[in-house]
């Protein structure tokens, strides 16, 4: 499970780097790594099912296995989302170049904030899980708001670009899709954090408004 | 945390109220200050390692321990508000109101029919239509009717182990008890017969108060609404089964149900 987590973490890091530098090679690396994530996901699921069937765990053991099962699904989806974002990077680069415009200049400023928060959220999930740290898990849930706000701001920036530089319009849906993909990675990281809280405290906080 | 260590205040409708119960075998104390309520028409499981006092406790409820000379009991058990240890209590009547099913099925060497109606006969019921009706209803409730309806007057000793155990349950419910005590009712049965008994317990849930002693943790979690964990004669934790098996409050409970005990 930890190994799967580190593979997904690497995929998220590479994907963010690919977006930051609009680098096709890095994007291709993310796409290549997805098979490994999918295989590991199946391995972890099979192991969890075996434990459930043969050992019938209860109490903290049950919460641990259930949390791993749920995290496993989120890990795999995060891997898929990293691929989707990487796909968009390749698409952006493949779109016919617009004379006089550097691609980097059309990336909204709030992306920097989103990169940092998304990556920190996922890495913190692994830390919270390994260190059994429910305080850190709570912090991850709160960090999701930062990512959501950044995504909303990026959307507004893109709308403004669309109005002021109509020639850039072909890129904008792809860039918005990248922002959406990163935001979804943040959402899945928040789900993982909620599951870690359940594992540690036995409380289902998914719909807890205080978080 | 959602569950409670002691559910005395959380059970709205309890049938048995145990208060400060201590039991001694001679000078050796087996139960210590048990204090909890047992909910009416629900299944309560008692779990704990061998020798922790589970069977001793349920044998207090129908005063089976009266038969052991060296037993001394302090504290009280109230059944529907009446102290079962009071001198005015008719023990025979108490045991009619509290049926018991044992680890090893114990049908009488009589016919299936006579086993079921035995309690009614000694309770004074003589009319054949009444006995017939009770036999049919009880065997149906015990999920045994379809298997024995054509051989009601055959010997009960020819039944399989699982059928005998269901017959004992039919015998217990024929006299319409308030409570059915089950002391490891499936420990001598194969998985299929165990599944029959568990299904039966679930069907009786809501109509009868069932208190079951079991060493099988999965069985406790499958069939019961409430679980009490006893250790060395003390009640460590009592709560809703779904809470106790997912988020136990006490570390000792956690250690026991996850197999890390000792």
Is A57 within 8 Å of B254 when comparing Cβ atoms?
no
The minimum CA-CA distance between B226 and chain A, rounded to whole Å, is 15
pTM: 0.80
Of A105 and A198, the structure prediction assigns the larger pLDDT to A198
Query: Which residues in chain A touch residue B217, judged by CB atoms under 8 angstroms apart?
Result: 56, 58
What percentage of chain A exceeds 70 in pLDDT?
Answer: 94
Q: What is the pLDDT confidence band of residue B9, given thresholds at 50, 70 and 90?
A: very low
Q: What is the pLDDT confidence band of residue B143, given thresholds at 50, 70 and 90?
A: confident
Name which of A58, A201, A203 is nearest B258 (Cβ-Cβ): A58
Q: Are B77 and B85 in contact (CB under 8 A)?
A: yes
CB distance from A153 to chain B under 8 Å?
A: no
Reported as half-sphere exposure (CB side, CA atoms, 13 A), residue A86 has a value of 23
pLDDT of A102 over the 70 cut: no
Mean pLDDT calculated for residue range A13-42: 94
Q: How far apart are CA B93 and CA B202, in angstroms?
A: 26
Q: Are B76 and B83 in contact (CB under 8 A)?
A: yes
Is B246 within 8 Å of A56 when comparing Cβ atoms?
no
**Residues in chain B, overall count:** 262
Is A60 within 8 Å of B257 when comparing Cβ atoms?
no
Q: What is the pLDDT confidence band of residue B16, given thresholds at 50, 70 and 90?
A: very high
pLDDT of A16 over the 70 cut: yes
pLDDT tens track for B30-46: 999 999 999 999 999 99
State the DSSP string of A74-90: HHHHHHHHHHHHHHHHH
Query: Which residues in chain A touch residue B218, judged by CB atoms under 8 angstroms apart?
Result: 56
Suggest the residue from B247, B259, B260 to mutate for an interface test with chain A (most A CBs closer than 10 A).
B247
The angle at the Cα of B167, spanning B165 to B168, to the nearest 5 degrees, equals 65
Q: What is the dihedral of CA A42, A46, A52, A58, to 10 degrees?
A: -40
Is A59 within 8 Å of B217 when comparing Cβ atoms?
no
Q: Are A168 and A158 in contact (CB under 8 A)?
A: no
Is A61 within 8 Å of B248 when comparing Cβ atoms?
no
E-strand stretches of B13-65: 14-25, 28-39, 43-47
What CATH code is carried by the domain that includes residue A56?
Answer: 1.20.58.220
Task: Find, among B206, B225, B169, the residue nearest to B44 by Cα.
Answer: B225
Query: Which residues in chain A touch residue B2, judged by CB atoms under 8 angstroms apart?
Result: 202-203
pLDDT for position A210: 63
Q: What is the pLDDT confidence band of residue B231, given thresholds at 50, 70 and 90?
A: very high
Residue ranges per domain, chain B?
14-257
pLDDT of B256 over the 50 cut: yes
pLDDT for position B262: 53
Q: What is the pLDDT confidence band of residue A171, given thresholds at 50, 70 and 90?
A: confident
Residue A211 lies in a domain: no
CATH of B14-257 given 3.30.70.2190, 3.40.50.300, 1.10.1660.10, 3.30.70.980: 3.40.50.300
Task: Find, among A150, A153, A173, the residue nearest to A162 by Cα.
Answer: A173
| Cα-trace Rg, chain B | 18
pLDDT for position A98: 60
Instruction: State the total domains in chain A.
Output: 1
**Phi, psi dihedrals of residue A96, rounded to the nearest 5°:** -55, 125
Q: Which of A181-190, B125-134, B173-182, B188-197 has the lowest mean pLDDT?
A: B188-197
pLDDT for position B10: 53
Q: What is the pLDDT confidence band of residue A205, given thresholds at 50, 70 and 90?
A: confident
pLDDT for position B4: 43
Q: How far apart are CA B111 and CA B156, in angstroms?
A: 5
Query: Which residues in chain A touch residue B246, judged by CB atoms under 8 angstroms apart?
Result: 58-59, 62-63, 202
Query: Which residues in chain B touch residue A195, judged by CB atoms under 8 angstroms apart?
Result: none
Chain A, nearest residue to B254 by Cα? A59
pLDDT of B8 over the 50 cut: no
The angle at the Cα of A150, spanning A148 to A154, to the nearest 5 degrees, equals 115
What percentage of chain A exceeds 90 in pLDDT?
Answer: 72
Sheet with B209-213: list strands edge to edge: B98-101, B179-183, B209-213, B43-47, B226-231, B234-240
Query: Which residues in chain A touch residue B253, judged by CB atoms under 8 angstroms apart?
Result: 59
Q: What is the pLDDT confidence band of residue A52, given thresholds at 50, 70 and 90?
A: very high
Q: What is the pLDDT confidence band of residue A101, given thresholds at 50, 70 and 90?
A: low
Domain assignment of residue A106, given as a range: 2-201
Is A202 within 8 Å of B246 when comparing Cβ atoms?
yes
Suggest the residue from A54, A56, A59 to mutate for an interface test with chain B (most B CBs closer than 10 A).
A59
CA torsion through residues A118, A122, A124, A125, sign: positive
Residue A74 lies in a domain: yes
A193 Cβ partners below 8 Å, 6+ apart? A121, A124, A125, A128, A137, A138, A140, A141
Query: Which residues in chain B touch residue A57, judged by CB atoms under 8 angstroms apart?
Result: 258
Residue A208 lies in a domain: no
pLDDT for position A211: 59
Q: How far apart are CA A164 and CA B181, in angstroms?
A: 80
Residue A103 lies in a domain: yes
Residue A207 lies in a domain: no
């Amino acid at each position: 499970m930890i190994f799967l987590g580190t593979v997904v973490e690497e995929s998220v890091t590479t994907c963010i780097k690919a977006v930051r530098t609009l680098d096709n090679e890095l994007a291709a690396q993310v796409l290549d790594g997805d098979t490994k994530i999918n295989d590991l996901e199946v391995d972890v699921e099979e192991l969890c099912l075996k434990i459930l069937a043969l050992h019938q765990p209860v109490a903290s053991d049950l919460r641990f296995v259930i949390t791993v099962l749920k995290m496993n699904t989120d890990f795999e989806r995060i891997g898929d989302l990293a691929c989707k974002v990487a796909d968009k990077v390749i698409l952006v680069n493949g779109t016919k170049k617009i004379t006089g415009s550097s691609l980097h200049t059309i990336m909204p400023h709030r992306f920097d904030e989103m990169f940092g928060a998304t990556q920190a959220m996922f890495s913190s999930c692994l830390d919270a899980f390994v260190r059994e740290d429910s305080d850190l898990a709570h912090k991850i849930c709160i960090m999701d708001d930062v990512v959501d706000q950044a995504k909303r701001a990026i959307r507004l920036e893109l709308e403004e670009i669309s109005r002021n530089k109509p020639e850039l319009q072909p890129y904008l849906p792809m860039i918005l899709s990248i922002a959406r993909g990163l935001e979804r990675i943040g959402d899945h990281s928040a789900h993982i954090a909620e599951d870690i809280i359940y594992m540690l405290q036995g409380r289902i906080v998914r719909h807890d408004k205080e978080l | 945390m959602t569950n409670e260590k002691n559910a005395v205040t959380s059970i709205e409708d309890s049938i048995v109220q145990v208060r400060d119960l201590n039991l001694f075998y001679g000078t050796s104390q087996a139960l210590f200050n048990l204090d909890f309520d047992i909910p009416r028409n629900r299944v309560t499981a008692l779990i704990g390692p061998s020798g922790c006092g589970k069977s001793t406790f349920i044998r207090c409820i129908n005063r089976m321990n009266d038969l052991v000379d060296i037993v001394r009991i302090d504290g009280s058990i109230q059944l529907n508000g009446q102290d079962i240890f009071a001198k005015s209590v008719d023990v025979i009547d108490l045991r009619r109101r509290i049926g018991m099913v044992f680890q090893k099925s114990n049908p009488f060497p009589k016919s299936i029919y006579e086993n079921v109606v035995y309690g009614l006969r000694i309770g004074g019921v003589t009319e054949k239509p009444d006995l017939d009706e009770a036999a049919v209803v009880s065997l149906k409730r015990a999920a045994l009717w379809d298997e024995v309806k054509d051989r009601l007057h055959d010997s009960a000793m020819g039944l399989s182990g699982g059928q005998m155990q269901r017959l004992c349950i039919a015998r217990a419910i024929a006299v319409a008890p308030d409570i059915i005590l089950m002391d490891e009712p499936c420990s001598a049965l194969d998985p299929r017969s165990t599944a029959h008994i568990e299904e039966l317990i679930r069907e009786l849930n809501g109509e009868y108060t069932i208190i079951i002693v079991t060493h099988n943790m999965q069985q406790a979690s499958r069939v019961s609404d409430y679980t009490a964990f006893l250790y060395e004669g003390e009640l460590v934790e009592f709560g809703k089964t779904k809470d106790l098996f997912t988020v136990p409050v006490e570390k000792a409970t956690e250690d026991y149900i996850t197999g890390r005990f000792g």
